[in-house]
């Protein structure tokens, strides 16, 4: 489909070849749909290829329990969190995999670092804004985090007591409050 017919495609981006490694960087508020979408896209690609090893998901919820469990939620720790994930996703992409990164990654400069180090190696990096208004995310509240943040039980919670810098020029802008999960998956598959 032409990008002009697809409201989620921003600009005239080249279509990515599924044969090449790449990083799809999902950024957005908690509850926007990063984890759900990355898993749904992986399921589709696994089925298409008959191979469950082409896609790898780096999910904030998982990485923060393991690799980055020494990090908190100050701006410095968030930056270090994203720096490590950027390096890891680059390595996966260099090995030929499609790496889906599902982190809030609230700061534009941290995401720009990820893009920069991919660019330096000639590895495609697609910033995907998983875009849903705060009110919708808060209503979904899949993990009850907003409730806790509003009650003051969680400090530095993005959107409530910590900033979120929305991407200004994302490769994909996916309005998950307007699209179903299936439609959102299709927007990403079209990039491939």
Determine how many CB atoms are found less than 10 A away from the CB of residue 104. 24
The token pair that represents 184 in the structure block? 């959102």
5 is a contact residue toward ligand ADP (CB under 6 A): no
Asked about 161 being catalytic, the answer comes back as: no
Beta pairing class for 172-175 and 55-59:
unpaired
Residues 157 and 151 sit within 8 Å (Cβ to Cβ): no
4 is a contact residue toward ligand ADP (CB under 6 A): no
CB of 118 to ligand ADP, least distance (A): 22
Please give the C-alpha separations between residue 4 and each of 11, 12, 13, in angstroms, as whole numbers.
9, 9, 11
28 is a contact residue toward ligand ADP (CB under 6 A): yes
Residues 104 and 159 sit within 8 Å (Cβ to Cβ): no
Determine how many CB atoms are found less than 10 A away from the CB of residue 99. 26
Question: Which of 8, 23, 27, 30 contacts ligand ADP by CB under 6 A?
Answer: 30
Residues 135 and 60 sit within 8 Å (Cβ to Cβ): no
Residue span binding ligand ADP (CB under 6 A) among the ranges 48-56, 68-76, 110-118, 172-180: 172-180
Which member of 36, 38, 86, 105 is catalytic?
A: 105
Question: Which of 18, 181, 186, 190 contacts ligand ADP by CB under 6 A?
Answer: 181
Residue span binding ligand ADP (CB under 6 A) among the ranges 5-13, 28-36, 45-53, 117-125: 28-36
CB of 18 to Mg ion, least distance (A): 24
């Amino acid at each position: 489909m032409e990008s002009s017919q697809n409201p989620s495609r921003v600009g005239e981006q080249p279509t990515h070849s599924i044969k090449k490694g790449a990083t799809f960087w999902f950024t957005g508020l908690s509850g926007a749909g990063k984890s759900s979408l990355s898993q749904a896209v992986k399921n589709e690609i696994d089925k298409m290829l008959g191979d469950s090893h082409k896609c790898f998901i780096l999910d904030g919820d998982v990485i923060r329990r393991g690799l980055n469990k020494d990090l908190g939620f100050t701006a410095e720790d968030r930056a270090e969190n994203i720096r490590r994930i950027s390096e890891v996703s680059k390595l996966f992409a260099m090995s030929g995999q499609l790496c889906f990164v599902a982190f809030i990654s609230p700061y534009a400069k941290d995401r720009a670092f990820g893009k920069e180090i991919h660019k330096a190696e000639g590895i495609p990096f697609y910033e995907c804004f998983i875009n849903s208004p705060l009110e919708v995310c808060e209503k979904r509240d899949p993990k009850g985090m907003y409730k806790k943040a509003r009650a003051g039980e969680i400090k530095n919670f993005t959107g409530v007591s910590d900033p979120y810098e929305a991407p200004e020029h994302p490769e994909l802008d996916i309005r998950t409050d307007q699209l179903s999960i299936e439609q959102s998956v299709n927007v990403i598959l079209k990039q491939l």
